[in-house]
Structure 1
Amino acid sequence: MTDHQQHQRDRRLFLKGSAAIGGAMLSRTVMGDTSSEASSDKPASANETQRVAIIGVNNRGSALAKGFIANPDSDVVCICDVDSRAAEKAANMIEERSQRRPEIETDIRKVLDRAEIDAIVVATPNHWHAPATIMGCAAGKHVYVEKPCSHTAEEGVWAVEAARKHDRTVMMGSQRRSWPAVIKAIEMVQSGRIGKAAYARTWYNNRRPSIGHGKQVATPDWLNWELWQGPAPRQSYLDNLVHYNWHWKWRYGNGELGNNGIHMLDLARWGLEVNHPNRVTAGGGKYRHDDDQETPDTMMVTYDFPESKSITWEGISWSPLGPFDSQVGVSFHGSAGSLVILGTGYTLFDDHNKEIETVSDSGGDTTHIAEFLDCIESGRRPNADIAEAHRSTLLCHLGNMAYRTQSTLQVDPKTGKPQNDSNAQSMWGREYAKGWKPQV
């Protein structure tokens, strides 16, 4: 065995071991009820190396491509993007790092027709997340989908159904679920280290610029605008939409709540061991810029759960200072102390606010990608399984419903659906372009 082969073998074993340890810790601490989340008995993949296609390679997609390239259990063989510039740039990067140039496609349907592809990574705009996931499952592919896992609540339900119907590993990119120090922090909250935990505060602060007022112009020759819109109802191309400002348009995005709030809400729900709320309220507005942004730049949401627990979310897109001098985080509050997760670690406090310990660890995508690949091979459910992903993403949808209807949502805690509010119920799903409605 050459030194290079030995290194690859050692690295493979290390990454698998990390994923297995993380999965074991998670199973022990957060999956006490296995009735709906039990591990699948499906056989391991016949391919030791998973052949992966990255769908959407601007920003997040390129970062994930690097992570999959670095893992010896995967090979990025195809990329798909409606932006020819981004596709070429990503292909060059992958070739430089892996000494293999991936195939380039523009249409996801052509990717899904390729039998040699085992898994897809969905890093598109939000309105594509669930349709691509559902289409991927139906084509027999495993799916790693970026957050949020759906653009509407209904799509989240469909994505779970598709994963189960086609027996596919489907995992959301909530990578904090694979960070060792964060796993330990959640275990402490759940084990009673801070007493009875009844409240979690989540926040994300930033200073985002104005998106201005868009103008209808000719579509750039490097962009396939028809495929970019995909499932969304058609509209003319605007010069201030691609590639990031779509986040602030309800037609394509979910505002900051769905953009970054999902990460913190996922941790809060995980730590408090709650599923669906029974009441949701929201306040805030668009205060900073006079521009085309439709989603709020200032938002506060309160989620009350039937277990007598609550979660709050604060998002401010024009002032970067958040609690604990941090732009992003989550704090858990219990009868015997508090615990704050910031970045890749946590700080534990007693009930007099005295710091007991601070722990930090490495973060990033590495362990989360290893978890995804290990679950494909082993058949067990991932720590960010699509069912868990949907429950957390649903909090974002409910918060946006409460904000947009300016009402207090009464929610069925069994289904997560708003009750006795026709306006909110109309936002459970959305309209699709002809021929693009997902079919489970």
Structure 2
Amino acid sequence: MDNVAHIPSYLSAEHLGPWETYLVQIDRVEPHLAADLRPLAPILTRPKRALIVDVPIRLDNGEMAHFEGYRVQHNLARGPGKGGIRYHPDVTLAEVMALSAWMTVKNAVVNVPFGGAKGGVRVEPKTLSLAELERLTRRYASEINIFLGQDKDIPAPDINTNEQVMAWIMDTFSMNEGKTAMGVVTGKPVSLGGSLGRKDATGRGVFVTTVEAAQRIGMSIAGARVAVQGFGNVGEAAARLFADAGAKVVALQDSTGSIHNPGGLDVRAAKVWSLAHHTLIGAPDSEPIDNADFWGVDADILVAAAMENQITTANAGRIRARLITEGANGPTSPEADLILQERGITVIPDVLANAGGVTVSYFEWVQDISAFFWTEEEINARLDRIMREAFAAVWDAARAKGIALRTAAFVLGCERVLAAHQMRGLYP
């Protein structure tokens, strides 16, 4: 297939970024799809709906500011749209399209009954006061209100958004509906219908899938050296779980820099330091290293839990790890993916590895609808089971077809989506 044929007319080819990465992934997957589903593959290369909104707010100084927001529903064949909302100065329509498409595949890989969606506002939230952030959130929620609903489209936190932002969105939607609608978002505070275990869910999924992969390649987690890029909710939770399992977290990187200790870092102490000083640099028993040198750290496992397009042709050849787990969405470029395959490095793809968050979001949604809530032990047990079963299915498919785990995950997820389209038919 020619990727250019699948570029919407409202996007310029030179600014595709993550969307182009997604299209390349679909190109690589299509030959491996079941023959009867292959003709339906173009469905995956086009979002169902894309909404661009102006988000004007009154700043604390009385001036008006405008921000651009997006909500994209990529595919709804298997259920309502599900995907996070991010606030970041680099948010673009192409990025949100790609993220919504990866949500489509991700939800299908772990077999939760959701389609794929994503949202974002192009803003540097650190420049806004709490009151300005609330006004931005409420106005954005009002603008995308036509998409939202517990049986239509259910947002969740993403980069620079949290349970407070979700609470504001839920409240705004509820005020417009004239009733409390807890199920319209997930990742909420527990006091407003949020689920226990949600905060660590994505990092826990990263940990569980890594343990499963390590067992299959003959690697012991106890004593394994782990490098983690990204030290937010996902990276911090994963690093903590690895340390608790006896692994040595030898390197950490966040937006402020990188630290290293070949004997192992104290993850909890690094978290306390980061919260107090707003940087990892200077954390106890650590040495700062250049960000470029992070990729060459002597480690067995590398967790990429930051942003898209972090592992590229510039650093893929330096990575020493035998196992890479993608805690972020789209952290590996297609070209780097091939380099890693050639080097024999096992990559657990994002659409599988970081699906723990949306899995517990599914649990939260179910609990909100039923008004019956589970214990954290029940949540973790259900999450672990789903992640292990999903990993086993992807691993077995990869071995049976002789393909990489990423391709196998996409085959599994895409076939489930396309089978839903096949059964539903075309209306009208």
Determine if the TM-score, normalized by the shorter chain, exceeds 0.5.
Answer: no
More helix per residue: 1 or 2?
A: 2
Q: Which TM-score applies when normalising by structure 2?
A: 0.34
Q: Which TM-score applies when normalising by structure 1?
A: 0.34
